[in-house]
Structure 1
């Protein structure tokens, strides 16, 4: 077997917030990790939907981003956007 070629192999201290809340149509179980790796953006993991996205304030303003990233309809994405705007 050939030697493994790493593009990077770093360890970083992070802060993760686990939050669960009920929306109008669904439950959200999120892990929100703050790291310096992605230019100050957050790694948001939807543990129920097995999806994640790297999100900053600019991404929350981008039309259709949360719908695409998390597979949500417009109303559910707006609920998630509203919550994330409070913490990001």
Structure 2
């Protein structure tokens, strides 16, 4: 077996927030991880959909990004985006 080549192997302290809320179109169960690792962006995990994305304010303004990243319809993504604007 060949030797494993690591690009990096680091530990980091994060702040994790677990949020669950019901919108008009869906229920959202999220974990938001804040770390210095991604230039001020947060790792957002959709616990029900098994999807995640690294998101900053610039990503929220990118048309279609939330729909694509979380595999959601336009209405669901709008609800999620509204929440994320408040916390990111």
For 2:78, the equivalent position in structure 1 comes to 78
Moved over 6 A (4+): none
Secondary structure of 2:75's counterpart equals helix
Could you tell me which residue of structure 1 aligns to residue 28 of structure 2? 28
- CA distance, structure 2, for counterparts of residue 52 and residue 14 of structure 1: 16
State the partner residue of 1:2: 2
**How far did 1:46 drift?**
0.2
Q: How many residues in Structure 1 have an aligned counterpart in Structure 2?
A: 88
Instruction: Please report how far the alpha carbon of residue 18 of structure 1 lies from its aligned counterpart in structure 2 after TM superposition.
Output: 0.2
Gaps of 5+ in 2: none
1:23 CA drift (Å):
1.1
Normalised TM-score (structure 1): 0.98
Q: Quote the Cα distance in structure 2 between the aligned partners of 1:53 and 1:79.
A: 16
How far apart are 1:26 and its partner, in Å? 1.1
1:25 Cα offset (Å): 1.7
| Corresponding residue number in structure 2 for 1:48 | 48
The whole-number CA distance in structure 2 between the counterparts of 1:36 and 1:64 is 26
TM-score scaled by structure 2? 0.98
Q: Gapped runs of 5+ residues in structure 1?
A: none
